[in-house]
Chain A
Amino acid sequence: MEIYHGYTGFVAFKLKEANAEPGDVIRVENPNGESFTGVLMPKQLLYSDKPVIVLKLSNGYNIGVKIDPNTRVLLVSKKRELPRTIGSQPLPKKPFVSILATGGTIASKVDYVTGAVTPLIDPHELLEWAPELGDVGFLNVREVMKKFSEDITPSDWEKLSLEVYREITSGAEGVVVAHGTDMMSYSAAALAFSIIGKPVPIVFVGSQRSSDRPSSDSFFNLYSAVLTAFKASFAESVIVMHGDSSDSYAVVLRGVKARKMHTSRRDAFQPVNDKPIAIVYPYSREIRIVGRVFEKRDPGREASLRNKFDDKVAIVKAYPGLQEEIINFLVDKKFSGIVIEGSGLGHVPNSLIDSLKRAVENEIPVVITSQCLFGRVNLNVYSTGRRLLEAGVIPASDMLPETAYVKLSWILGSVTKNLSEVRELMLTNIAGEINERHTLELFPRWSHE
């Protein structure tokens, strides 16, 4: 089936015949005498089976008009071509922060004619959109990939790590990575491991409301992120997002300890088993340290890049009725590592223990985390746990399952495949992913009335 800007069948044919493209003004004349004039809009593919043409009327409204094979489609006028100002600026001699766009909606703008959202990669455009960003310092903006965050793979982390490393070695005061929010904490964790000895912060930022709306959180978040990249006293891979539903402050979360805990709220990102490193007040340009700093900013420090990730690591969640076939399948398929989201303190059904033992015997590390998220795994309390330890699993302390997954993938890709070395590294606090002290206030409580 041929698709023409989302249109199919005779509708597509008539539009092509009239030489009409989205943005052009067309007139649709139905055989019953009625006619509609408006700007042709592209059609959302999901709905393209209906013989409907979408027009933007002069009052700004879009409507769908049904046509039939006898309808006449006439081109009234071609769209006005807008000059586009794409070009890169030479790097300034002054201190600068690099903004790398990966394809999230954070640094994107809407096309008011078609409604499509396109990335905002030109620094001029970015400053036009948010002139206040220029007050903080010089910005070097470029697009490094164009992906929805749910499509990110471990090989993208390799590329992203390389790009960030280049910015760091060319003297950036900090690097901001504009990223889709869904898998952002995975990427932030990946960069926490892949660039060792970071001299400056790497700041991931996203938005929960796209930047084409006046209420978007993207400006607030981006401004806070740029501020953090320029000024923060730490040099870690962090996430900067709204700290509250109000536009009051942003939080800086350690990537390895952060999690998206709400599908849509602005303050969706929360630290787990940790406090935010800092709170940012963008209006007063203040960064207040509230948590522990794992690595301090040190522009003299030399970073090294170890950016290989093993893409044969799996996460398996323990659930009632989980069958050992799943584990056996991973072993048979020669997966390099398995992360288990155990129940409670880190348990899996006893019926699985033999299959896990077999995995370990095949030199496949099995890392145990908890689907409770909050708290630490402990396999010494109950007999099931002790049997798991006997089987040779690696209890991952208070690490998030996602962080354990990224860390295991990185160790296997960039460091070692030796089981005992993997075990040792998994239990070593490399980038602040383990918090040895959980104090009472680290567990959030819901409002109970």
Chain B
Amino acid sequence: MSKLDFKELGLRVGLEIHVQLDTSRKLFCKCPTKLVEERSKFNIERGLRPAKSETGEVDPAAMLEWRRERVFIYEAPPESSCLVEIDEEPPHQLDEDSLTVAIAIAKALNMRVVDEIHVMRKIVVDGSNVSGFQRTALIALNGFIMEGEKKIGIQTLCLEEDAARKISEEGNKVFYRVDRLGIPLVEIATAPDINDPEEAMRVALKLGQLVRLTGYAKRGLGTIRQDLNVSIRDGAKVEIKGVQHLYLIPKVVELEALRQQRLLEIRNELLRRNVKPEDLKEEIVDVTEVFENTSSKIIRKSIATPGNGVFAVVLKKFKGLLGKEVQPGRRFGTELADYARVWGGVGGIFHTDELPNYGITAEEVRNLYEKLGANPGEDAIVIVADQREKCVKALKAVVDRARQAVIGVPEETRSANPDGTSKYTRPRPGAARMYPETDIPLVYVTPDLVEKAMKIVPEPPDAKLKRFVEEHKLSVELATTLIRDLRLDLYEKLTAKYGGSVQPSIIASILVNIIPSLRKENVPIENVTDELIEEIVDMLSRGEISKEAIPDLMKQALLNPEKKLKELVKELGITRLDVNELDRIIEEVVERHREKLLARKEKAFAIAMSETMKIVRGRIDGAIVAENVKKKLREKLNIGSDDEYSRQ
């Protein structure tokens, strides 16, 4: 793929960063904020209906979920949920600790904190919120952060409850566990001021870090989530959810820009062909007879089920466009298939741009065109094999999507795939889905509350850099890298705790040098936990291991997560030597090689050092070994002066 010129494209990106807070209780009840891994025996089964707005409008996203007529089954583990999570008790008052953290972050982002906080209900009927809405409150607005010389606007900061976790899906049943429901989340939304994919990642990192530096952010997989709003000039605002890793952000942005560009090319081609939205008719035809003796396994299997059939619709003058790639491995036809899956619940579609193929013959394609009275030179045909009702819904959605192609890029909510591409999930929710949470009293922001928050406002990065260099004696290079590291808050915690006995530079080096170097060795560094790092630093501080042993120890710990660190230290033989033991080893080395050392005096240190290190490597600091080797050579063999060694 050739590099896109994002400036030329008019790329605009806004971020929404969600970070879970590590508070002692949930946002609206007194349950602990921990997850439970066992399946629970307490199950509640519910349905949800979209609530209609005053104007009679129902949010399109909400309606889509309802049409699926899904049943939600909620597992409610008593260890981390109560009646509030399963919507059987009104919410308690907003957790003040969470609010304090939110205000502190808002202050660090130069935002205006509102004077009175109103908790709102945001309608979400995919079942992930048992109540059918997410409780959310706008805490602050109109802020900014600096990314280099550039000012990035921060539009809003909200405090909201996290949703339930989806466990599985079977048919129309969706299983959720409500342990996660209610964990406080800080949501920070930037203005669409970002114009470059890499910049998006840098801003996301900075915002995530800022929350973590309050000391109240949860760590680990799934505790930070980022949504992207991406558009290009003449394109549309598309929301991409579920970008799991920071490093995936640039790719997702780039591929969305590409997708919108390709969709605009398709639109231009349709305009050139003089296609109008109304040319695309919802005329869905039963074409089962064309495929009566088909050799396509998929179709044969499908129509063997009573009540199933093959249905087709013509997309007039679309020939060739369905095969056009919009993202790597995804064609415009794939976009149509997404709509068919979401709205019709079918497995997929076939379209004539990819036929004959998949066992469908050229003759069947000819018959298809003939039966539908379509022009094989101009028109495309989409077919689906499934139950009649599902096929009709699916093909109507296909026609709807094709009509939008004539207009341009539709506004959508999409979900990110692991390779950076994305797929359609639902229309963008409207503004009709927010109304006040009348069960919760509003919160007046008092000076006391602000004062409390000011105490945990994170230190600005520049001040931090200065402090690391001056007080922690880190090199400017190390400090700069550290400030960009996700575990910056862990560094602060560990230096505060162990700074007296372990050099801050060693702690910094574990985070920004050792862990990345292990990644290059394909060690599973996703297993690195804060606890592991702290345990290693703790052992260092007790002199149980030497800093030389860290890379090896960490590698083994990650490869053998079932083993205790202390066991590994023993197995690897890297228990730190005490000086007496070292002395004994050096003496043995010197005795063993006495002849050689005396014969080659000028190389004596190098030889003795290398022989000793073979035995003690990783168990004691090399500088200490060198010092003791020199001493021993002098004592036992009367070899060397400092001058002599310095030439080595």
Please report A residues at the B interface, Cβ cutoff 8 Å.
34, 41, 44, 46-47, 50, 52, 54, 57-66, 82, 109-113, 115, 117, 128-129, 208-209, 211-216, 219-220, 245-248, 263-266
Residues of A within 8 A of B115 (CB): 52, 63-66
Q: Verify A213–B133 contact, CB threshold 8 A.
A: yes
A214 touching B50, Cβ below 8 Å: yes
A residues in contact with B49, CB < 8 Å: 214, 216, 219
Please state if B132 and A214 are interface contacts (CB–CB under 8 Å).
Answer: yes
Measured between alpha carbons, how far is A44 from B51 in the docked complex, in Å? Answer: 23
B315 at the interface (CB under 8 A from A): no
**B103-144 interface bits toward A, Cβ cutoff 8 Å, 1 = contact, 0 = none:** 000000000101111101111010000111100111001100
A310 to B121 Cα, complex, angstroms = 44
Q: Are A245 and B130 in contact (CB under 8 A)?
A: no
Question: Do B438 and A115 touch (CB < 8 A)?
Answer: yes
Known: A60-B433, A64-B116, A214-B133. A113 touches B54 (CB 8 A): yes
Q: How far is the CB of A217 from chain B (nearest CB, A)?
A: 9
Q: Does B465 contact A (CB under 8 A)?
A: no
B45 touches A62 (CB 8 A): no
Partner of A264, one of B54, B88, B432, B444: B88
CA distance A169 to B138 in the complex (A): 54
Instruction: Verify A247–B444 contact, CB threshold 8 A.
Output: no
Cα distance A360–B431 in the bound complex, in angstroms: 66
B444 and A50 form a contact (CB under 8 A): yes
| CB contact under 8 A between A63 and B116, given known A47-B442, A58-B431 | yes
CB <8 Å contact, A213 and B45: no
Query: Is B131 a contact partner of A215 (Cβ separation < 8 A)?
Result: yes
Within the complex, the shortest CB–CB distance from B164 to chain A, in Å, comes to 12
The residues of A that contact B90 with a CB separation of less than 8 Å are 264
Q: A109–B90 Cα gap in the complex (Å)?
A: 19
A54 to B138, CA, bound (A): 12
Q: Do B112 and A34 have beta carbons less than 8 Å apart?
A: yes
CB <8 Å contact, B434 and A60:
yes
CB of B87 within 8 A of CB of A247, answer no
Q: Are B138 and A214 in contact (CB under 8 A)?
A: no
Known: A34-B112, A128-B52, A246-B44. A59 touches B431 (CB 8 A): yes
11 cross-chain CB contacts under 8 A: A47-B444, A59-B431, A61-B136, A61-B434, A82-B55, A128-B52, A213-B132, A220-B47, A247-B45, A247-B47, A265-B83
Q: Which residues of A contact B441 (CB under 8 A)?
A: 46-47
In whole angstroms, how far apart are the Cα atoms of A113 and B62 in the complex? 18
Chain A residues near B52 (CB-CB < 8 A): 109, 128-129
Q: Which residue of B is nearest A56, CB measured?
A: B434
Within 8 A of A (CB), among B152-181: 156, 158
Closest to A44 in B: B442
- A268–B87 Cα distance when bound, in Å, is 13
Complex contacts, B123 vs chain A, CB 8 Å? 214
Which of A34, A58, A62, A82 meets B436, CB within 8 Å?
A: A62
A64 to B444, CA, bound (A): 8
Nearest CB in chain A to that of B124: its residue = A214
B131 and A214: CB pair below 8 A? yes
- Contact among A82, A110, A263 with B51 in the assembled complex (CB-CB below 8 Å): A110
B358 at interface, CB cutoff 8 A: no
A321 to chain B, nearest CB (A): 32
C-alpha gap A62/B141 in the complex (Å) = 12
The 8 Å CB contact of A57, one of B130, B138, B435, is: B138
Q: Does B89 contact A (CB under 8 A)?
A: yes
Please state if B56 and A61 are interface contacts (CB–CB under 8 Å).
Answer: no
Interchain CA distance A82-B51 in the complex, whole Å: 18
Q: Which of B45, B86, B435, B444 contacts A248 (CB 8 A)?
A: B45
Q: Given known contacts A47-B442, A214-B125, A264-B83, is B130 in contact with A54 (CB within 8 Å)?
A: no
What does the 1/0 interface line of B453-485 toward A look like (CB < 8 Å)? 000000000000000000000000000000000
B357 at the A interface (CB under 8 A): no
Q: Are B118 and A61 in contact (CB under 8 A)?
A: yes
CB distance from A297 to the nearest CB of B (A): 30
Across the two chains, which residue of chain A brings its CB closest to B137? A61
Q: Which of B62, B114, B123, B432 has the most CB of A within 10 A?
A: B114
A50-B116, A115-B438, A129-B52 as given contacts; A245 in contact with B431, CB under 8 Å: no
* A245 contact set on B, CB distance < 8 A: 44, 86, 88
Complex: chain A residue closest to B437, CB-CB: A115
Residue of B nearest to A212 (CB): B51
> Which 8 pairs show the lowest CB-CB distances between chains A and B?
A64-B116, A214-B132, A60-B434, A115-B436, A62-B118, A66-B115, A61-B138, A246-B45
How many Å lie between the Cα of A220 and that of B47 in the bound state? 10
A89 to B467 alpha-carbon distance, docked (Å): 77
Chain B nearest CB: distance from A346 CB in Å? 33
Q: Which residues of A contact B89 (CB under 8 A)?
A: 263-265
B296 part of interface (Cβ distance < 8 Å)? no
How far does the Cβ of B428 sit from chain A's closest Cβ, in whole Å? 13
Residues from chain A with Cβ under 8 Å of B48 in the complex:
214-215
User: Contact: A63 with B118, CB < 8 Å?
Assistant: yes
Are the C-beta atoms of A215 and B132 separated by less than 8 Å? yes
Inter-chain CA distance A61–B432, complex, in Å, is 11
State whether A215 touches B46 (Cβ < 8 A).
yes
B53 part of interface (Cβ distance < 8 Å)? yes
Contact B83 A213 (CB under 8 A): no
Min CB–CB distance A255 → chain B (angstroms): 24
With A63-B138, A214-B132 already in contact, the answer to whether A111 and B87 are too (CB < 8 A) is no
**Closest chain A residue to B429 by CB distance?**
A60
Name 18 extra pairs, CB < 8 A, besides A66-B116, A214-B125, A216-B49.
A47-B441, A54-B118, A61-B136, A61-B137, A61-B158, A63-B114, A63-B117, A82-B54, A112-B54, A115-B436, A115-B438, A208-B88, A213-B133, A215-B132, A246-B45, A247-B45, A264-B88, A265-B83
Q: Which residues of A contact B54 (CB under 8 A)?
A: 82, 109-113
A46 to B444, alpha carbons, bound, how many Å?
12
* Contact of B117 with A112 in the complex, beta carbons under 8 Å: no
Q: Are A64's CB and B442's CB within 8 A?
A: yes
Contacts of A109 in B (CB 8 A): 51-52, 54
Q: Hey, which chain A residues are within 8 Å of B114, CB to CB?
A: 63-65
| Cβ 8 A contact of A64, one of B117, B141, B142 | B117
A112 to B50: give the CA distance in the assembly, Å: 13
Within 8 A of A (CB), among B415-437: 431-436
What's the Cα separation between A247 and B130 when bound, in Å? 12
Q: Which residues of B contact A59 (CB under 8 A)?
A: 138, 156, 431, 434
Q: Quick one: which of A54, A57, A215 contacts B116, CB cutoff 8 A?
A: A54
Q: Which residues of B contact A117 (CB under 8 A)?
A: 438
Chain B residue with Cβ nearest A132: B49
Q: Which B residues touch A211, using CB under 8 A?
A: 51
B47, B50, B122, B441: residue with the most chain A Cβ atoms closer than 10 Å: B47
Q: Are B122 and A52 in contact (CB under 8 A)?
A: no
Beyond A50-B444, A64-B444, whether A214 also contacts B433 by CB under 8 A is no
Q: How far is the CB of A101 from chain B (nearest CB, A)?
A: 18
Residues of B within 8 A of A52 (CB): 115-116, 444
A129 neighbours in B (Cβ, 8 Å): 52
Q: What distance in Å separates the Cβ of B417 from its nearest Cβ neighbour in chain A? A: 28
Q: Output the nearest chain B residue to A246 by Cβ-Cβ distance.
A: B45
Question: Which partner residue on chain B sits nearest A34 by CB separation?
Answer: B112
Measured between C-beta atoms, what is the minimum distance from B421 to chain A in Å? 29
- Chain B residue nearest to A283 in the complex (CB): B47
A18–B130 CA distance with the chains assembled, in angstroms: 42
A213 and B118 form a contact (CB under 8 A): no
